[in-house]
Amino acid sequence: MPRLWLVERSYDDRNLISFVYATTDGTKQLRKELSATLLQQRSDPITAAIDIDDEDELAAVDPDNQEQYATEAQSVAADYEPDEPI
């Protein structure tokens, strides 16, 4: 079961917030999009890491972003507990 760490959070003009979680080697990612309204209504917080049961859910990271994602994932892993809100 791979563990992925939050490496990117972005907002768009459609009121969606995108969260990108990546492996510490920067090669695999999972992107989640939530509406800002739904995010405010959630009882569970966005955490520093998530564990994925099905590796088929993961997408390859663009080679141009792999180093950045690896660096960010390693930094978050060093600074936060996996279940810590971020």
The answer to whether 66 touches 26, Cβ cutoff 8 Å, is: yes
pLDDT band of 41, cuts 50, 70, 90 = confident
What is the spatial distance between Cα 72 and Cα 17, in angstroms, rounded to a whole number?
Answer: 19
pTM of this structure: 0.88
Give the strand pairing for 49-51 and 3-11: antiparallel
pLDDT at 69: 97
Residue with tokens 């859910």: 57
Range of weakest confidence among 21-25, 37-41, 47-51: 37-41
What is the spatial distance between Cα 52 and Cα 65, in angstroms, rounded to a whole number?
Answer: 21
Q: What is the mean pLDDT of the chain?
A: 91
pLDDT at 4: 97
pLDDT at 83 exceeding the cut of 90:
yes
